[in-house]
Amino acid sequence: MNRTNSIQAYKEAVQYIPGGVNSPVRALRSVDESPLFIQKARNAWLTDIDGNRYSDYCLSWGVFILGHAHPAVNRAVHKAIGHGTSYGIPSLPETELAKLVNRHFPSMEKVRFVNSGTEAVMSAVRLARGFTGRNLIVKFDGCYHGHADHLLVSAGSGAASLPTSFSAGVPKGFTAHTVSLPFNDRKAVSRFFRERGKGVAAVIVEPVPANMGVVLPQNDFLQHLRTLTKQADSLLIFDEVITGFRLSIGGAQQKWEIVPDLTTLGKIIGGGFPAAAFGGRSDIMALLAPDGPVYQAGTLSGNPIAMTAGIETINQLSHPDFYTDLAQKTTWFFNALADDIAHKDIRLNQTDSMFTLFFTGESVNSFADAKRTDTERFKRFFKHMLSRNIYISPSPFEANFLSSAHTEKELCHFLKAIKDFE
């Protein structure tokens, strides 16, 4: 496979951009590769600047549940661009998308739009502290909630490979009010709440963590969090930046029938454009400026192009058979994949259309389990799949995704490639 142009492009990029990339994991250093520079994408395929084509299971980290460059989304966006790209004052698509979010996420009685998942989580945490009058935030090891200073504690995603528990440049005082506990450990959470529950402003959790790899909640863990937070008059924040509109049209909270106080959404909600949201109970959201004392703002928040892309994406997801058809495809694929790895010391963790292959013979139910997996073998696997024109998420601590655009031909190609891997 010739990647001469990508290699040259990277050499130029590092002269002007730190590390040559605008998000660390794109550098592919964790898999000892040089970055791919993409020229275009359509359906389930990426094409790099050397003309190589890759079936894509990263999908811009889960954004493209419809596949890349979906025609209906593109048409809506092209029309919207003709009217202007940013106004700095309200526009109708903001309310239209907020109504759609509320329809499918009833717990989000009111919604505020922002530009990224990090911004949504940062704002939701500030709001939780303002509402409760408390400072302490509880998160879970391996759960990644963006790169806000106070949440870079035992984080997953790209931070999972860092040698310290949080980023350089973060004063210890910023993380002093953040406690990270083991995911799926009911006893540890119960013990903490007995000792310090009355000081907890909020518990924030990825209901299905995707940034230590896909890890499923066990033994009613999510319901346990809901019970403890209610007893302590703390708030429960579901970070559904990845799971929102991915696990179902109502996200993980619909799947597990749990009503959080606040929810953050991202990725799919922007339809390929920078957009995210946070929302929840009306009495909590009433504290946001201009109605209340908790300040949050953004020049490009509610951008009409991103709102339009999100509206059309959710309209497509609302078709009666969308999730049924996707479920049929994913069930067939994961059953076949499980058979193919049965004797390879590879563990498949999956739910709905997201999955991770962990290189271990043991179950993976926590960040500690994930860190014990064979990351060197993952590197070999990534290179093996790339050589067969398959692009997966370039980290052992990330999720992969299927879309409605993946066909049986592409899925069979993936299965054939993994059969060939030792």
Q: Looking at residue 169, what is its pLDDT?
A: 67
Query: What is residue 401's three-state secondary structure?
Result: strand
Q: Cβ(7)–Cβ(34) under 8 Å?
A: yes
Cβ–Cβ under 8 Å, residues 304 and 82: no
Domain architecture of the chain: domains with CATH: 4-70+320-419 (3.90.1150.10), 71-317 (3.40.640.10)
In tens, the pLDDT along 92-117 reads 999 999 999 999 999 999 999 999 99
Q: How confident is the model at residue 159 (pLDDT cuts 50, 70, 90)?
A: very low
For residue 42, CA distances in Å to 92, 273, 388 come to 29, 15, 18
Nearest-angstrom CA–CA distance, 3 and 303: 36
Distance in angstroms (rounded) separating the CA atoms of residues 45 and 40: 9
In 3D space, the residue among 349, 417, 335 whose CA is nearest the CA of residue 381 turns out to be 417
Map residue 200 onto helix, strand or coil.
strand
**pLDDT confidence of 77, banded at 50, 70, 90?**
very high
**Does pLDDT of 163 surpass 80?**
no
Identify the burial level of 14 via C-beta atoms within 10 angstroms of its C-beta, where 0-12 means exposed, 13-18 middle and 19 or more buried.
middle
Share of residues in the chain with pLDDT > 70 (%): 95
DSSP at 266: -
> What local confidence, expressed as pLDDT, does residue 142 receive?
92
**What CA–CA distance (Å, rounded) separates 306 from 50?**
30
CA 364 – CA 370 distance, rounded (Å): 6
- What token pair was written down for 420? 């060939």
Long-range CB contacts for residues 188-193, cutoff 8 Å, separation at least 24: 189/138, 189/224, 189/225, 189/228, 190/224, 190/228, 192/138, 193/228, 193/231, 193/232
What's CA 40's distance to the chain center, in Å?
22
pLDDT tens for 22-68 read: 999 999 999 999 999 999 999 999 999 999 999 999 999 999 999 99
Residues noted as catalytic: 144, 239, 267
Going across the sheet that includes 347-351, the strands are 347-351, 354-358, 400-401
pTM of the model: 0.94
Name 167's Cβ contacts closer than 8 Å, sequence gap at least 6.
147, 149, 152, 159
* pLDDT exceeds 70 at position 184: yes
**What average pLDDT does the structure give for the chain?**
94
What is the rounded radius of gyration, in angstroms, for the C-alpha atoms of the chain? 21
**pLDDT tens-digit map of 211-241:** 999 999 999 999 999 999 999 999 999 999 9
Position 173 scores a pLDDT of 73
How many CA atoms are closer than 13 Å to the CA of 361, on its beta-carbon side? 3
